[in-house]
Amino acid sequence: MILSQLKSDYKRIFNSPKIYLSVLGVALLCYISTEKYMHGSEDIYYLLDLLIGLSVFKKLIVIFAALSCVTGFYDDWKHQYIKNIVVRTGKRNYIISKIVVCATISFLVVFIGILLFISGLIVTGTDYSGIYETGALNEVMPYGVLLYQNSFWYVCSIVSIYALSMTVWVMSGLMISAYIPNSFVAVCSPLIFSYLLEEVTAFFPPYLNMYLLTKGSDILGKGAGYSYLYTIFVFALLVLGEGYIFRKRVKRRLENEIC
């Protein structure tokens, strides 16, 4: 039954133009954010590093990530589709499906959108040789070493970390929508949540600092593998925590509705 519900939710997402417009929106935002820094001498890695560090870009991109998937629960609740769905699939399957779909779609929107932008840079002849022009390898550590081994994996590592951080913020919108079923709240709350959590964790040790984790900084000093696995673990833990809170609130809502 869970597979049936997942299939239904994914079909609903991919049949909507919102996901495709969101991916294109991410790619376009990447270009707008870096266009003034493109003078023909910068390489892709410089532009990617610059992009990840732009706070305005980060705040806007989370909106695109949220638009494609975060209002799923609100739509079901508003139009009362949720009653028929829950009767057919069960509360547990419904809730799990909403969490999985929101997490995976928000990740894919950002990941594919940025890779689409990078592909455009490659097509237009931007340097992709694996040599970071600023020369300081430690500036892009711990993943900078991949530039001399496999530059493709460097890009995938940085972009996947960034995309997963956006998933954390988008999942907060899904979580809050269970308390306040409103499309505006669902889409905009990730923006507020990301700002607050980054401000709060700025006072934490580096290995708990959300800004440093998002940028792929060398917070452990143990190389790319350890840093990547640790960062993924922290983000996955936050996503699961948000999913758990969403699950508890939706179950309570459904129980009250049935009563």
Mean residue pLDDT of the chain comes to 84
Q: What range does the domain containing 251 cover?
A: 2-258
Eight-state DSSP code of residue 85: H
Amino acid, single-letter form, for residue 208 = L
CA 90 to chain centre: 28
Instruction: Answer yes or no: pTM beyond 0.85.
Output: yes
Q: Kindly tell me if the per-residue pLDDT of 234 is higher than 70.
A: yes
Q: Kindly tell me if the per-residue pLDDT of 222 is higher than 50.
A: yes
Question: How confident is the model over 167-219, as pLDDT tens digits?
Answer: 999 999 999 999 998 889 889 899 888 888 888 998 998 888 898 888 887 78
Question: How confident is the model over 73-115, as pLDDT tens digits?
Answer: 888 888 787 888 888 888 899 999 999 999 999 999 999 999 9
Integer Cα distance of 242 and 111 in angstroms: 21
DSSP β-bridge partners for residue 43: 127
Integer Cα distance of 156 and 32 in angstroms: 21
Q: Kindly tell me if the per-residue pLDDT of 60 is higher than 60.
A: yes
Question: How confident is the model over 11-47, as pLDDT tens digits?
Answer: 999 999 999 999 999 999 998 888 877 765 567 777 8
- The model's confidence at residue 147, banded by pLDDT at 50, 70 and 90, is low
Choice between 128 and 174, residue whose per-residue pLDDT is larger: 174
CA 229 to chain centre: 17
Q: Give residue 200's pLDDT.
A: 92
Q: In total, how many domains does the chain have?
A: 1
Integer Cα distance of 166 and 108 in angstroms: 10
The structure tokens 């139009």 sit at: 79
Integer Cα distance of 99 and 206 in angstroms: 29
Sign of CA dihedral 182, 11, 171, 168: negative
What's the longest Cα–Cα distance across the chain? 66
